[in-house]
Structure 1
Amino acid sequence: MVKTNKRILRGVLMLTYLVIIGILLFLVSSVFSFLNTGADRSKMLHTEVKKVEQYLPKVTWVLDGNEGRKISEQKIKSVENDYLDAWYVKHIAYKTNTRVGIEDYFTESARENIYNILDYNKLNKTSIESTTLEHNLDIEFFSEDGQLIVLTDTNTLEYKKVFKDDKLVLETTEISTYRYILLLEDGFWRIRHMVKETSEKFESSLKRTSISNTNIKGINYYPQATPWNMYGDEFDINIIKNDFRIIKKSGLNSIRIFVPYEDFGKANVNYKKLEKLKLVLDTALEIDIKVVVTLFDFYGNYDVLDWTLNQRHAEKVVETFKDHEAILAWDVKNEPNLDFDSRGKENVTAWLDFMIILIKSIDKKHPVTIGWSNVESATILKDKVDVVSFHYYEDLSKFESDYLALKENINDKPIILQEFGLSSYGGLWRPFVGSDEKQAEYYKEIQKVLTKNEIPFMSWTLYDFDNVPKEVLGRLPWRTNPQKKFGFITSSGAKKLSYKYISKE
């Protein structure tokens, strides 16, 4: 019995010893791991506000040499990344009046001025929403020990909105020149000193671009089986080609298509999606159909700090296809005025303004327009666009007078009726309201007005759809079911009565 107890005690002691040794080994290895990763930037930073996929302004380098040590391309890229990170965390800080991230990108001396501004703004209930859209960088000096850089940033394009008690008190766009001193600390570049040398108000000089054909008889297009998902896994260029032949044979000469922002990869545009879009444009050219490309579909943020991502998206698409012969015009955004209530009219119009500037700076051949959802909004930014486009789903009896009033207001630019139509749905959720006969009568009457006033038009849409994605109108059947029946052709391919009036009276 005594021997048994001793064996049990000895076993317990051995087990306890092993547990203690295991704990000690774990603690030692953790300390060792911590000490070895302490200089790793990704572990050291205590902020979540990183520039990656959040802040991508256009950057141009002046690579004409510098004083001091020769700098490598890899080092230049490192400087650029850290420099833009610093801008981004400063934007966040001024917007939120918090110090998050500032310590990681600015030395102690540079932080003092930023902290003073933050304290003052917080005390006075002031905040600043800002972004930079362009940087032109030049390294003037790189020290022999590789620890210090003197950097100039010329013609920096800055957009700012200043709020006092949550009310907008100032909106400004500036072109500024900065000089910076950066120090290499802990493996990355921190800003030690910064001076704004010059600043002036930004004035854009937009040249008007004429549209190649004002005799537009067109239609908004999605393939019947894949509405609002034209470039997905079921993409079939043969189906699209057949549809384009139907459109051409019907007497129409143009289409409007849509680029879904997220589906195309947002700022990092997916080249496979671009290849599919190229196939669509090539096919349109082959069939002799012109194309209006709407650049932003399923996007509605407009946050100032999102602008650089949006611009990289538009830049890639426009740059890729600016010389394509099928392009008729660029449409910045579909019905942006529907976002006025949720996002703020000033935010939306400022975003549109800068998108127009960007697109026209890349493509000087094709006109730019905006697809407003109604006549009332169509005068917004009328001096910036080349073509005024509006949609009309209101009472048909008022259409001609509404159009003529708009034309009187805009007498120097083409006006396009970019969307219009009537659903033939007359089911449970709209009994006795819609029918094939009523839809055909609608198109017969509106075509009379279009012909009389020589109004360019693009109707909605070629096909009826079996399904409308919830992202378009939600799930409510009284909203989605009527949307399924706007086509001139049924989902099974039969021509509806309205097809007779698809292109003319």
Structure 2
Amino acid sequence: MVSLNKNILRAILILSYIMVIAFILSGVSALFSYLNTGADRSTMLHTEIQNVEQYQPKLTWQPLQNEGRPMDEENLKALENDYLDAWYVKQMAYKTNTTAGIKDYYTDNARKNLYDFITLNKAKNITVEATTLHHNPTLEFFSEDGQLAILTDRHVVEYKHLFKAKQLVLETTETSTYKIVLLLEDGFWRIRHMVKEENAQYNFEKARISTDSLNIKGINYYPQATPWDMFGDQFSTEILSKDFKIIKNAGLNAIRIFIPYEDFGKANVRPEKLHKLKQTLDIAQAEALNVVVTLFDFYGDYSVMDWTLNQRHAETIVSAFKDHKAIIAWDIKNEPNLDFESRGKANVMAWLDQMIHLVKSIDTVRPVTIGWSNAESAPLLMDKVDFISFHYYEDLEQFEAAVKTLKSKVPSKPLVLQEFGLTSYSGFWKPFGASEEDQANYHKKIQELIAINNLQFMSWTLYDFTYIPKEVVGRLPWRKNAQKHFGFIDKNGTKKEAFNYITHE
């Protein structure tokens, strides 16, 4: 028995020894790994920022005629990347009043001014949200040893929000000229000096775009099987061709379609999505249907630091199709006023204003509008858009009064009733809802009002749907089921009574 106890004790001691040794080895290994990780440049802030596409202002280099050593494309691209990242780091520092990342993009001499500015803002409870939208750098000098570069960046378009105690006190868009000296240190370009030489208020000059030939009599369109996913895996030109013929034969002349921001690739728009959009526009043109293209569907951030990504998205799409004959207008955003409470009205309005400017700078021919969710919001930015679009799902008894008020506020621009309709759902979740007969009477009445008030229109929508994404109306079943039955054609492909009143002509 004693011998057995000794053997058990010996085994426990040996096992404990092995565990201690394993623990020590594990600790040494972890320490070695940590020290090596600390030396790995891929984990440093500098490289992390370069690996994330979070800041893409438009940048146009002037022809390379610099003094000193000739600049090759590879070095110029590296210089450009570090230069723009330095702007991003500075703007993040001003927004958060922290100094994270500044050492990676600014030399000792340049950091002092940034640190002083951050300290002053923190003391006064001031934060600055800013971005640059356009750079036009000229390389003035590149040293023979490749370690120093001097730039002049002209007409830099800068947008700024200044907050004091979290209250917006200043909003401005400026154009500035900077002189910049950069040094190559540890394989990265860092700013040594940045001096603002000129500064002025930015004013966007735009020519008046004619809306005399609009005459929109249309409908909002999604394929029946793929609502809110029109350009997805089930994209079908055959379905589009069939549906567009139905729309044209019904006496309509236009459709409104939606471009989902993330699905199209955000800042880096996917070529296959552009191809599907082109096919859609080509089919619409073949059926003599005009197209209102609504941008930024399923987007709702509006933060200033997101603007450059948003602008590259819109720039790609508008540039690709600005000459397509099917497009009759650009709609910047669907119902942005619904984001006022969650995102801040000032942020949303500023974003819309800048996006209008961008689209108009690319397409100088087609009119621009915004799809406001109600008549009350429709006068917002009325001086910036070319025609006024509003949605109406309220009581028809109040419709004419709402239109009269809107016309008094916007007397000189066309009004488009861009969305309207009535669901014919009266099932379990809404037992006292409208019937198909009620829906038909609604469309008959509103088309009479549209004609009387000389409005252009786009109804909601061609089809009843069997599936509604939760992102559209949420998860509540009474809302989702109601949304499924706004169509003029039911889920079986049969025209409902309302189809007789899809237009007043």
TM-score > 0.5 by shorter chain: yes
Q: Specify every segment of 5 or more residues in structure 2 that has no aligned partner in the other structure, as ranges.
A: 1-6
CA contact (8 A) 1:423 1:482 kept: yes
Q: Distance in 1 between matches of 2:91 and 2:24?
A: 50
Note the alpha carbon deviations across 1:108-132, whole angstroms, 9 max, x for none.
1100110011111111111000000
CA contact (8 A) 2:214 2:328 kept: no
The code of the aligned residue for 1:100 comes to A
**Following superposition of structure 1 onto structure 2, how do residues 5-154 of structure 1 map, counting pairs within 5 Å?**
38=39, 41-45=41-45, 49-50=49-50, 52-154=52-154
In structure 1, the residue matched to 2:184 is: 184
Q: Distance in 2 between matches of 1:331 and 1:20?
A: 64
Which stretch of structure 1 is more off in the superposition, 448-457 or 248-257? 448-457
In structure 2, the residue matched to 1:454 is: 454
In structure 2, the residue matched to 1:268 is: 268
Pairwise CA distance, 1:51:
7.2
In 2 relative to 1, CA 25–143 (structure 1 residues): closer, same or farther, beyond 3 Å?
same
CA contact (8 A) 1:462 1:488 kept: yes
Q: Distance in 2 between matches of 1:461 and 1:491?
A: 13
In structure 2, the residue matched to 1:358 is: 358
**SS of residue matched to 2:468:** coil
Which stretch of structure 1 is more off in the superposition, 242-251 or 419-428? 419-428
Percent identity (aligned): 60
Note the alpha carbon deviations across 1:349-384, whole angstroms, 9 max, x for none.
100000000000000111100000000110000000
CA contact (8 A) 1:47 1:101 kept: no
In 2 relative to 1, CA 42–504 (structure 1 residues): closer, same or farther, beyond 3 Å?
same
User: Given the alignment of the two structures, is residue 387 of structure 1 paired with residue 409 of structure 2, yes or no?
Assistant: no
CA contact (8 A) 2:183 2:192 kept: yes
Note the alpha carbon deviations across 1:146-180, whole angstroms, 9 max, x for none.
11111111000000011111111111110000011
Q: Specify every segment of 5 or more residues in structure 1 that has no aligned partner in the other structure, as ranges.
A: none
Pairwise CA distance, 1:227:
0.3
Which stretch of structure 1 is more off in the superposition, 185-194 or 406-415? 406-415
In 2 relative to 1, CA 201–20 (structure 1 residues): closer, same or farther, beyond 3 Å?
closer
User: Given the alignment of the two structures, is residue 497 of structure 1 paired with residue 497 of structure 2, yes or no?
Assistant: yes
User: Given the alignment of the two structures, is residue 346 of structure 1 paired with residue 346 of structure 2, yes or no?
Assistant: yes
**SS of residue matched to 1:131:** strand
Pairwise CA distance, 1:449:
1.2
In 2 relative to 1, CA 235–24 (structure 1 residues): closer, same or farther, beyond 3 Å?
closer
Pairwise CA distance, 1:45:
3.3
The code of the aligned residue for 1:189 comes to W
User: Given the alignment of the two structures, is residue 234 of structure 1 paired with residue 234 of structure 2, yes or no?
Assistant: yes
Q: Distance in 1 between matches of 2:303 and 2:164?
A: 18
Pairwise CA distance, 1:41:
4.2
CA contact (8 A) 1:370 1:385 kept: yes
**SS of residue matched to 1:61:** coil
Aligned length: 497
Pairwise CA distance, 1:331:
0.2
CA contact (8 A) 1:50 1:88 kept: no
In structure 2, the residue matched to 1:325 is: 325
In 2 relative to 1, CA 288–33 (structure 1 residues): closer, same or farther, beyond 3 Å?
same
Q: Distance in 2 between matches of 1:192 and 1:327?
A: 48
Which stretch of structure 1 is more off in the superposition, 396-405 or 114-123? 396-405
Pairwise CA distance, 1:320:
0.4
The code of the aligned residue for 1:317 comes to I
CA contact (8 A) 2:42 2:48 kept: no
CA contact (8 A) 1:82 1:188 kept: yes
Pairwise CA distance, 1:52:
2.7
CA contact (8 A) 1:41 1:188 kept: no
User: Given the alignment of the two structures, is residue 410 of structure 1 paired with residue 410 of structure 2, yes or no?
Assistant: yes
In 2 relative to 1, CA 403–41 (structure 1 residues): closer, same or farther, beyond 3 Å?
same
In structure 1, the residue matched to 2:478 is: 478
CA contact (8 A) 1:183 1:191 kept: yes
The code of the aligned residue for 1:63 comes to P
Q: Distance in 1 between matches of 2:35 and 2:478?
A: 64
**SS of residue matched to 2:448:** helix
In structure 1, the residue matched to 2:306 is: 306
Note the alpha carbon deviations across 1:389-435, whole angstroms, 9 max, x for none.
00011110111221122122212211111000111111122222310
Q: Distance in 2 between matches of 1:55 and 1:322?
A: 25
Q: Distance in 2 between matches of 1:297 and 1:404?
A: 30
Q: Distance in 2 between matches of 1:413 and 1:353?
A: 18
Q: Distance in 1 between matches of 2:173 and 2:380?
A: 19
Pairwise CA distance, 1:204:
1.0
TM-score (norm 1): 0.93
Note the alpha carbon deviations across 1:42-67, whole angstroms, 9 max, x for none.
34437855573211000000123101
